[in-house]
Amino acid sequence: MQHHIAIAGASGRMGHMLIEAIQAADDCTLSGALDIPAAPALGSDAAAFTGQPAGVAITADLAQGLQGAHTLIDFTRPEGTMAYLAACRAAGVNLVIGTTGFSEEQKAQIAEAAQDMAIVMAPNMSVGVNVTLKLLQMAARALSTGYDIEIIEAHHRHKVDAPSGTALRMGEVIADAIGRDLKECAVYERYGHTGERDPSTIGFSTIRGGDIVGDHTVLFAGIGERIEITHKSSSRATYAQGSLRAVRFLAGKRSGLYDMFDVLGLPRD
């Protein structure tokens, strides 16, 4: 089956990586390229940067960009994603969401839309990260008492949300595994006289700098030992390849909200 894919944020860093991945995949075709009205690249060929034009112009017109697409891949920002969500729902186009930073209300709107369309939503499309989430689930269950849990993440200077969606997902997976609610036990800031660490909490630390693609470490610190589970991304290519796996997974599906565990066939328990 040939998968016809539109890309949101087509002139951005992740947009370029996705377009390169589509161009290299025998079963994928770039059918549309979307960007914001102020994008300087509007009207230009979306794949011109590769030296192999695709014959697809970047547009801010949602109907034009989605025409002929089976699936839209979106790694933009929450406000943009919500507009793309409504357009895809109206056009009968499936959606792969890699955007992070959604509010609870926006997440609820996405879940509601999934009654009429098929969506894969994951804060990180990397296959390795999702295997790491599975390892964290196992580790958390075994280390639920006597170990302090800290999540440290580092990203490039341009990232606008913190902690990263991946770090938050790690926290959710760990909290669920040990019977806690992340909303109740997460600690995102420490400053001044904080007192002793509450053993029931999950701490987050955020680093922003340079061109770091994405590093995540979960530290289980006990007495006399500590365990660190780390994933480091050196290229956005891994997110692009995971996104194409999500596109293939959605083929033929009419509705439902899925994540990368579903795409990769990873068990939830």
What CATH number does residue 143 fall under? 3.30.360.10
Whole-number pLDDT of residue 15: 96
Using alpha carbons only, how large is the chain's radius of gyration in Å?
Answer: 19
Question: Residue 138: inside a domain, yes or no?
Answer: yes
Evaluate the omega torsion of the peptide bond into residue 163 and state whether it is cis, within 30 degrees of 0: yes
Shared domain for 115 and 245, answered yes or no, is yes
Burial degree of 144 (CB within 10 A; 0-12, 13-18, 19+): middle
34-73, pLDDT tens digit by residue? 999 999 999 999 999 999 999 999 999 999 999 999 999 9
CA–CA distance, 170 with 134 (Å, rounded to integer) = 9
Per the document, the length of the chain is 269
CA–CA distance, 8 with 98 (Å, rounded to integer) = 11
Shared domain for 245 and 189, answered yes or no, is no
Q: What is the mean pLDDT of residues 153-180?
A: 95
Q: In 3D, which of 181, 184, 225, 187 has the Cα closest to residue 204?
A: 187
Alpha helices in the chain (DSSP H): 13-24, 62-66, 78-91, 104-113, 127-142, 165-177, 182-185, 237-250, 260-264
Give this prediction's pTM.
Answer: 0.84
Question: Residue 17: inside a domain, yes or no?
Answer: yes
What's the token pair of residue 59? 């547009």
Q: What is the mean pLDDT of residues 240-257?
A: 97
Whole-number pLDDT of residue 268: 77
CA–CA distance, 227 with 204 (Å, rounded to integer) = 16
CA dihedral 51, 54, 60, 63 (to 10 degrees): -170
Shared domain for 22 and 117, answered yes or no, is yes
Helix then strand then coil, in percent of the chain rounded to 5, is: 35, 25, 40
Q: Hunting for tokens 């990397």 — which residue is that?
A: 126
Q: What is the mean pLDDT of residues 80-94?
A: 97
Residue 14's contacts (CB-CB under 8 Å, 6 or more residues apart) are 75, 98, 236, 239, 240
Tell me the CB-side half-sphere exposure of residue 247, using CA atoms within 13 A.
28
Whole-number pLDDT of residue 58: 97
Instruction: State the pLDDT confidence band at 267, using cuts at 50, 70 and 90.
Output: confident
Instruction: State the pLDDT confidence band at 81, using cuts at 50, 70 and 90.
Output: very high
Question: Residue 269: inside a domain, yes or no?
Answer: no
Shared domain for 115 and 16, answered yes or no, is yes
Whole-number pLDDT of residue 67: 97
Give the helix/strand (H/E) hosting 233: strand 226-233
Question: Residue 203: inside a domain, yes or no?
Answer: yes
Shared domain for 175 and 189, answered yes or no, is yes
Shared domain for 105 and 195, answered yes or no, is no
CA–CA distance, 47 with 50 (Å, rounded to integer) = 6
Domains identified in the chain, total number? 2
Shared domain for 248 and 207, answered yes or no, is no
Shared domain for 167 and 100, answered yes or no, is no
Shared domain for 240 and 229, answered yes or no, is no
Shared domain for 115 and 136, answered yes or no, is no
Whole-number pLDDT of residue 46: 97
How many CB atoms neighbour CB 239 within 10 A? 24
**Is the pLDDT reported for residue 269 higher than 80?**
no
Shared domain for 109 and 201, answered yes or no, is no
Q: In 3D, which of 22, 32, 125, 17 has the Cα closest to residue 72?
A: 32
Q: Which domain holds residue 39?
A: 3-121+236-264
Question: Residue 86: inside a domain, yes or no?
Answer: yes
Shared domain for 26 and 134, answered yes or no, is no
Residues with catalytic annotation? 155, 159
CATH number, position 85: 3.40.50.720
- What does DSSP assign to residue 157? T
Question: Residue 64: inside a domain, yes or no?
Answer: yes
110-141, pLDDT tens digit by residue? 999 999 999 999 988 999 999 999 999 999 99
